Chains A and B, each alone.
Chain A
Amino acid sequence: MKAEIEVLQPGLFSTIQDPGRNGFLKYGVPMSGVMDLYAAQMANLILRNSPNSAVLEITQMGPKLKFSDPAKISICGALLSPKINNFKIGNNRVYKIEAGDELSFGKRQLGCRAYLAISGGFKTEKILKSRSWFEGITDNFKLNKNMKLPYESTNESKIETNASIKFTSEYLVTSEIGVFPGPEFYLLTEGEQEILRSRNFSIDKNNNRMAIQLQEIMGNTLKPIITGPVLPGSVQLTPSGKLIVLMRDCQTTGGYPRVMQLSETGMNKIAQKIMGDSVSFAFLESPHL
């Protein structure tokens, strides 16, 4: 029989993601993939999964899931009060699941996105070489009630602990985001550059897998650019003077000046922020050649 997770309650917003869809940018297909690569890879690593295994990315309020067959799971990233059959469990550990077990989540304590990994990875459909859900590419694009998620059952009773793996959750708290100057950074006035270097910005209510908008208006003296390439982590300055941090599901091209580019760890950090959280930018050296 096929092992499946049944979605009893969908929670706020969850999607299946892997490291992303590579090789299709030139056709205008967004990369997608996990928002916090660090947490997702840790969740896989704890289970000794391949780092490319698909995980469930859970945003703020988790779902309630029922397992048809034995499995091993781990959860990393945001602290969302997970429980197995009403017993509290913790992040960053391997748990054994029996047939019929239910996994649920409670109050959000820290961070925004948690990653549920399962031994062998989720076996949902692969489209264009990736299992990452994205509307228009995969049939499913968010977790819904009664949905079934296939996985490979494992009856291995022994739980090997990787005591050597140390997971740091400090990055969930820090507000400092590493950035490189973007292609249009040096076209900004010195005053504008200084604003980016020194001010605090807060996460706007408009934030999702495509982009995280920042609330503050910093002004804008730049003209739009000829439509050019953008990437997850590109920070655009809009004509209204607001900053938009593009995230994993972003379009492949854009016409707004790209004033900064988040570092890889910076992307993981900002993926864990929720509306109202404060961030500041720490400039890293970039060879501008």
Chain B
Amino acid sequence: MGERAILIEFEPEISENTLEKVLFYKNKIEDHYFKVKVEVINTYNSLLVYYVYTIENVYDEVSALKGLFQGTKITKKSIVQLYDIPVCYDAEFGLDLKLISLEKNLSLDQIIRLHTQPIYTVYFIGFLPGFLYLGGLDKKLQISRKIQPRMEVQKGAVGIGENQTGIYPKSSPGGWQIIGNSPVPLFDKNRLPPCEISAGDKVKFYQVSKSEFLNISEEIKEGKFQFKKVDYEGGN
């Protein structure tokens, strides 16, 4: 892709299997290039190797990359982090809960249960700094985006759009159906790295009350907040 990047594409599907493959090769490429200035980013089924300086000989680079892909057995990264993320589903935040309840014929409790049950997979970060692309939303909660996107969705808003769910890391225009809000800092520009959670990690939501929500917000302000996380064995 141009003079600074090589794009590697895998089969066009959104699946854990493809992600495993993508992340496996991502690690390999990062190890291989640890001395050279490159950035490797992944999406559902792509790897982009971005060279900070323009590529001198693209054929050499491509054959080096091809070499990395030869004769290696894909092994799962055995342990990733599972993050517990608090969400307040109060009506004050869950602007579209009623609409989903009517359209999907689900009670509020059912919606919350369906949303907090799964262990979601972080496929990658994109769209906005710190925006996690999560896979694993229950089919019963899948709902189309708003026809007229909101001009401003609040920071921390938790939303659903088609088969995806996620958290807005900052206020921005957005078309997802909003069901709650999470106070956790997904992106901190004054921290290195700025995101604690990365591609391949797992996420689970749990419900908090408004007062718990405010407590956590206070902790974050005072710099005392720490993510609740545990090691998670890759093999489901």
**Which A residues lie at the B interface, using CB under 8 A?**
22-30, 127-128, 136-137, 180, 182-183, 225-229, 231, 233-234, 251-253, 258, 261-264, 287, 289
Question: How far is it, in angstroms, between the C-alpha of A182 and the C-alpha of B5 when the chains are bound?
Answer: 11
Top 6 A-B pairs ranked by shortest CB distance?
Answer: A253-B126, A229-B48, A261-B2, A28-B125, A27-B195, A28-B129
B159 within 8 A of A: no
B176 within 8 A of A: no
Tell me whether A251 and B127 are in contact (CB under 8 A): yes
Min C-beta distance of B74 to chain A, whole Å: 20
B59 within 8 A of A: yes
Question: How far is it, in angstroms, between the C-alpha of A44 and the C-alpha of B2 when the chains are bound?
Answer: 25
Residues in B neighbouring A182, C-beta threshold 8 A:
1
Interface size class of B (residues with CB under 8 A): 35 or more
Chain B: interface secondary structure? loop
Question: How far is it, in angstroms, between the C-alpha of A148 and the C-alpha of B88 when the chains are bound?
Answer: 42
Residues in B neighbouring A229, C-beta threshold 8 A:
1, 7, 41, 43, 46, 48
Choice from B12, B13, B43, B129 contacting A29 with Cβ under 8 Å: B129
Residues in A neighbouring B195, C-beta threshold 8 A:
27-28
Tell me whether B1 and A253 are in contact (CB under 8 A): no
Tell me whether B45 and A226 are in contact (CB under 8 A): yes
Min C-beta distance of B185 to chain A, whole Å: 13
Question: How far is it, in angstroms, between the C-alpha of A30 and the C-alpha of B130 when the chains are bound?
Answer: 11
Choice from B46, B50, B125 contacting A228 with Cβ under 8 Å: B46
**Which B residues lie at the A interface, using CB under 8 A?**
1-5, 7, 9, 12-14, 37, 39-46, 48, 50, 52, 54, 58-59, 62, 124-131, 133, 170, 187, 189-190, 192-195, 198-199
A-B contact count (CB 8 A): 111
Residues in A neighbouring B125, C-beta threshold 8 A:
26-28, 252
Q: Which residue of A lies closest to B37 (CB)?
A: A22
Residues in B neighbouring A180, C-beta threshold 8 A:
1-3
Q: Can you add 18 more A-B contacts, CB < 8 Å, to A136-B170, A253-B126, A263-B3?
A: A25-B48, A26-B40, A26-B42, A26-B199, A128-B192, A128-B194, A180-B1, A226-B12, A226-B14, A226-B45, A228-B43, A229-B7, A229-B48, A231-B50, A252-B41, A252-B126, A263-B2, A264-B2
Choice from B42, B58, B129, B131 contacting A287 with Cβ under 8 Å: B58
Min C-beta distance of B115 to chain A, whole Å: 22
Tell me whether A22 and B45 are in contact (CB under 8 A): no
Question: How far is it, in angstroms, between the C-alpha of A261 and the C-alpha of B129 when the chains are bound?
Answer: 23
Residues in A neighbouring B129, C-beta threshold 8 A:
24, 27-30, 136-137
Tell me whether A26 and B37 are in contact (CB under 8 A): no
Min C-beta distance of A43 to chain B, whole Å: 20
